[in-house]
Amino acid sequence: MIDFNVPPYIGTEEKYIKEAINSHAICGDGQFTKKCSKWMEEKFSVNRVLLTTSCSSSLEMAAILAGIEPGDEVIMPAFTFVSTANAFVLRGAKIVFVDIRPDTMNIDENLIEAAITEKTKAIVPVHYAGVGCEMDKILEIAKRHNLLVIEDAAQGVMAKYKDRFLGTIGDIGCYSFHETKNYSMGEGGAIVLRDDRFLEMAEIIREKGTNRSKFYRGQVDKYTWIEHGSSYLPSELNAAYLWGQLEEADKINDNRLETWNYYNESLKQLEIDGYITRPYIPKECTHNAHMYYIKVKDLEERTKLIQYLKENEVQAVFHYVPLHTAPAGIKYGRFCGEDRYTTKESERLLRLPMYYGITKEDREKVVRLIKEFFITNKGE
Ligand SMILES: *Cc1c(COP(=O)(O)O)cnc(C)c1O
């Protein structure tokens, strides 16, 4: 079976995990946590990056930092993962879903303004597949209406919009290092703080609402409960795994891009012949090959193609069920405007096997089967 995803593994992770164990400090904020943070701060030229236990945790921290209260509204695309919405629902917010652009599957920046009310507190762009949202426009709207921009850059680590790294453009950015993402620590993530405004409070929230981080830096002589918070600091064991990956971040990125480009080149003719649509990368964006997807005619054709690939030992998968159609989405949110593309485009989308180290033979097989499906079998 060619799996859809295999967690990234470089080979140095075990050595670093052993080092963490031998240092007798396996809770958070040890040497590997610090190394990972510093690496990202330098690479992405951003003020502060704090490791967290997941992107979901980062989003929850962002919702607390944003001061979201019951009754507030938060704008986000309807085509996203549940965590984007959960973080704000947990604080009592109402989610206002906006339609996506059919080309990038990202929030349609031209529909955001109509969704703003006097209760709106934040806009949460999600960089789907590591392809940046139209951030200049989003920042301009946010500025005019005095709203925070919280980037869900779970899939966007190492990708750029213009000359800025995704996650470092809005007020707060959230990364994921889940095993399905480009760089992994099993479960984990990071919160990116562009300026100092939220830094102190972010450290407090991450350390169960205490000023423990300050205490360890010798800035206060005892540590105490300051605010509401939780346990969002990951263990050194996880950070050690991530460190192995970050050291080789360019190698992982190049390898993924090579696979992405192979798929994109090999499937070009199918698009020309009108069978599929390939991903669109706006010229402002440098993507990170987080995902390679194709779009077929409709749900029925997609179901047949998934089945055909499965029979031939290839695992290809669809993605999000639009949140506004899910039970919790109906309960906690509303869709602003018309669902022109979210449902329709999500039903056409199929993700192909994509991971660090996928073999040439495997990806060739994937392409061959897709061509066969459309050309030989004509989808029958
Ligand atoms: C993966 C993902 C998340 C959640 O990340 P975790 O680290 O698993 O919590 C959130 N948003 C998006 C868009 C994702 O792809």
- Is the model's pLDDT at 1 over the cut of 90? yes
Residue 227 DSSP SS3: coil
CATH number of 13-246: 3.40.640.10
pLDDT interval class at 380 (50, 70, 90) = low
Q: Is the pTM of this model over 0.85?
A: yes
CA angle 48, 52, 53 (to 5 degrees): 170
User: What confidence score (pLDDT) does residue 378 get?
Assistant: 57
229-239 tens-digit pLDDT: 999 999 999 99
- Is the model's pLDDT at 280 over the cut of 70? yes
Kindly state the average pLDDT of the residues 114-125.
98
Take residue 112 and report the two structure tokens written for it.
Answer: 């955001």
Take residue 291 and report the two structure tokens written for it.
Answer: 């995902």
Kindly state the average pLDDT of the residues 333-342.
98
Helix axes 249-266, 236-247, angle to 10 degrees: 60
- Is the model's pLDDT at 379 over the cut of 60? no
Rounded Cα distance between 284 and 137, Å, is 12
Delimit the CATH 3.40.640.10 region(s) of the chain.
13-246
* Mean of all residue pLDDT scores within the chain: 97
User: What confidence score (pLDDT) does residue 195 get?
Assistant: 87
- Is the model's pLDDT at 377 over the cut of 90? no
- Other residues' Cβ atoms within 10 Å of the Cβ of residue 378: 8
Rounded Cα distance between 19 and 5, Å, is 28
Nearest alpha carbon to residue 76 among 116, 118, 129, 131: 116
- Tell me which DSSP letter residue 149 carries: E
Share of the chain above pLDDT 90, in %: 97
Output the residue whose Cα is nearest ligand 1's atom 1. 154
Output the residue whose Cα is nearest ligand 1's atom 5. 55
Mutate to test the pocket of ligand 1, among 57, 58, 60, 81 (most ligand atoms within 8 A of CB): 81
Kindly state the average pLDDT of the residues 202-211.
96
For 153, half-sphere exposure in the C-beta direction (CA atoms, 13 angstrom radius) is 32
- Is the model's pLDDT at 360 over the cut of 70? yes
Mutate to test the pocket of ligand 1, among 151, 176, 180, 346 (most ligand atoms within 8 A of CB): 176
- Fold assignment, 249-376: Aspartate Aminotransferase, domain 1 (3.90.1150)
Ligand 1 closest atom vs CA 176: 7
Delimit the CATH 3.90.1150.10 region(s) of the chain.
249-376
